[in-house]
Amino acid sequence: MVYQLAAETAADQDLASLSDHLIIAMIVAYAAALFLFALEAAYGRRTALKGNRLVPVGASAPAKDAAASPAAAGGHGGEASAAVGGYSTVDLDAEPASGGGGNADDLSVSVRGSEPQASASRSVLGAIALAVAGVGFLLNLAQIITRGLAADRWPWGNMFEFVVAISLCAVAAFLYAALRYQARYLGTFVLLPVVLLLGIAARWLYTETGPLVPALHSYWIAIHVSAAIVATGAFMVSGAAAITYLLSHRTEAKRAMGERVAGIAAKLPSPELLDRVSHRFVVIAFPLWTFAIIAGAIWADEAWGRFWGWDPKEVWSFITWVIYAAYLHARATAGWKGTRSAWIGVLGFAALMFNFFGVNYMFSGLHSYA
C-alpha cells in the first residue's frame, strides 16, 4: 500500500513537471505564430476575388475594378458605399434606409470572405502561422490536462490556471474564426494579448500544482467557471475584432480623404467584415456569460446562503453583462453598427478584463481566493 501511494505520488509529480514544461513550450509556439502572423500582416499582399481566382489588390487599383465589386454595385440595405483605394467600402455609420430599424447584420460583405472586401494581407507565412498556432493550442490543451491529472481536480482553481484556460479558449475561438470565416488576419490581434497574459501568468501568477481551497470543492466549478472561461475566450476574439475594426475604419477614412496609408493598417480587411465577425462572437459568448452568472448565483446560495451579495466580482460580472446586453440591444433595435457598436464592444471587453484582473487584486471579497 505504501509503495502504491509512493508510486502514485511520483506519477503526479512527473505529470506536474511535464505540465510546467508544456507552459514554456506553448508560450514559445504562440509567440512564433504571433511573429509569423505579424510578418504576413506587414509584408503579405492583399488579394481580391475576381472571377474564380485571387489577384493582388494595390492601393492605386483602378476605380472601375471597385465599381464592379458587389458592394459598389448599388449598396445593400441603405448603406452608403464608395470606391476607395481600388475596392469598395460600406459606410457602417450610415442609418438604414428604413429609418434605423434595420438589422445591423444586413451588410454587403460575408464573414466567410467571398467578396473583395473580405480579403486581407495573405502569404504562405499565414498558413504556417496558423499551423503553429494549432500546435500551440494542442500544447496548451495538454498542459491543462496534465495539470488536472496531477492535482486530481478541475485545473482552474487560481489565477494562473484561469489565464491558461482562457488563453486556450481564446485561441480555440480564433482558430474557429480562421477556418470558418477566413479570419486569419485576427491572428496578430488575438495572439498578442494571449502571449502577454501567459507571460504574466508564468512570471508572476504561477502556482504549484496542489489541492483546491475549501470554498471551491463543488461540482459547480466544472459548470460555473467553465462557462465563464469559454465566454471570456470568445469575448477576447470579439474584442480583438472590434479594436481591429476601429483601426480599419480610420484607415478607410484616411483613404477617402486621399491620404496614403502604409504598413499593417493598409492591409487590414474591410471594417464591415470586422464588424460582423466581432458581432458573431458576442452572440456566441453572451449566452454563456449569462449562464455563468446564473450558475454562480446558484453556487453562491449553496456555499454562502444567498444568491447575490454585491461582492465586487458579482458586481463587475453584472456590469460586463449589462454592457454586452446594451451592445446587442443597440444593434438589434436601434440599428447601431460600425463605430458606435465597436466602442460599446471595446468598453465591454475592458470591463471584462477589469473583472478578471482588477477586481481580484484591487478589491477584497468572497472571490479573493482566485
Q: Are 250 and 181 in contact (CB under 8 A)?
A: no
DSSP state of 107: -
Helix (H) or strand (E) holding 233: helix 224-256
Q: Are 82 and 44 in contact (CB under 8 A)?
A: no
CA distance 281 to 106: 16
Amino acid at 368: S
CA pseudo-torsion sign 235, 237, 239, 245: negative
Q: What angle do CA 255, 282, 370 make, to 5 degrees?
A: 120
Q: Are 97 and 77 in contact (CB under 8 A)?
A: yes
Instruction: Give the pLDDT band (50/70/90) at residue 189.
Output: very high
Q: Which residue's entry shows cell 460600425? A: 338
pLDDT tens digits along 67-81: 334 333 333 333 333
**pLDDT above 50 (res 13):** yes
Q: Phi and psi at residue 262, in whole multiples of 5°? A: -130, 170
DSSP bridge partners of 56: 47
pLDDT tens digits along 323-344: 999 999 999 988 888 899 999 9
Instruction: Quickly list DSSP for 238-254.
Output: HHHHHHHHHHHHHHHHH
Instruction: Give the pLDDT band (50/70/90) at residue 15.
Output: very high
CA distance 82 to 238: 26
Domain boundaries, the chain: 152-362
Written as nine digits, the cell of 185 is: 488576419
Q: Are 234 and 283 in contact (CB under 8 A)?
A: no
DSSP bridge partners of 46: 121
Give all strands (DSSP E) within 174-327, no chain letters. none
Give all strands (DSSP E) within 220-314, no chain letters. none
Residue 62, number of CB atoms within 10 A of its CB = 11
Q: Are 72 and 83 in contact (CB under 8 A)?
A: yes
**What percent of the chain lies above the pLDDT cut of 70?**
75
Q: What is the pLDDT of residue 72?
A: 37
Residues 6+ apart with CB under 8 A from 168: 137, 140, 141, 144, 233
pLDDT tens digits along 90-118: 444 444 444 444 443 444 455 554 444 44
Q: What is the pLDDT of residue 276?
A: 92
The pLDDT mean for the chain works out to 80
Length of the chain: 370
Q: What is the pLDDT of residue 360?
A: 79
Nearest CA-CA partner of 147 in 8, 20, 6: 20
Q: What is the pLDDT of residue 1?
A: 56
DSSP state of 90: E
